[in-house]
Amino acid sequence: MGQNGTMDRIKAIRQNKGCFDTVTRIHKLDNLIYYSCIGNFTHNSVDYLIELYLNFQRGVMPFKGGFGKQPNKIIEIFQIIEQVNNEKQDAKIKEAERNAKSKG
């Protein structure tokens, strides 16, 4: 496989993990700061946390009690998921704006 094929494969792998650019970004999770794609930091519980987040968005609390009774850590996790969703949405909007400008 040539260098171009290798680069295409790396790009495909990155995109499958949710890494759509090669710009180094600073990510912070609690006191952990890292400079990489968030997709490199997955764990088996991520699917479960996303499911909890989606239910939370529908008003179903993950733990017994109202919002004020939820563990701080789960709320922090939901805030991170929300931030990533917002970043993706912003990127889509900017891409659509660039495409509209190039066409018109």
The pLDDT tens digits for 11-24 are: 777 777 666 666 66
Residue 78, pLDDT > 90, answer yes
- Claim: this prediction has a pTM higher than 0.75: no
Higher-confidence residue: 5 or 53? 53
CB 56 within 8 A of CB 63: no
Find the domain containing 3 and state its range. Answer: 1-41
Average pLDDT over residues 84-96: 90
C-alpha torsion sign, points 12, 14, 19, 24: negative
- Indicate whether 68 and 82 sit together in one domain: yes
The pLDDT confidence band at residue 64, using thresholds 50, 70 and 90, is very high
- Indicate whether 47 and 13 sit together in one domain: no
Residue 62, pLDDT > 80, answer yes
- Return the pLDDT at 57: 94
Please identify which residue in the block is written with the tokens 């969703």.
85
CB 53 within 8 A of CB 74: no
Please count the structural domains in the chain.
2
Higher-confidence residue: 16 or 9? 9
- Indicate whether 29 and 76 sit together in one domain: no
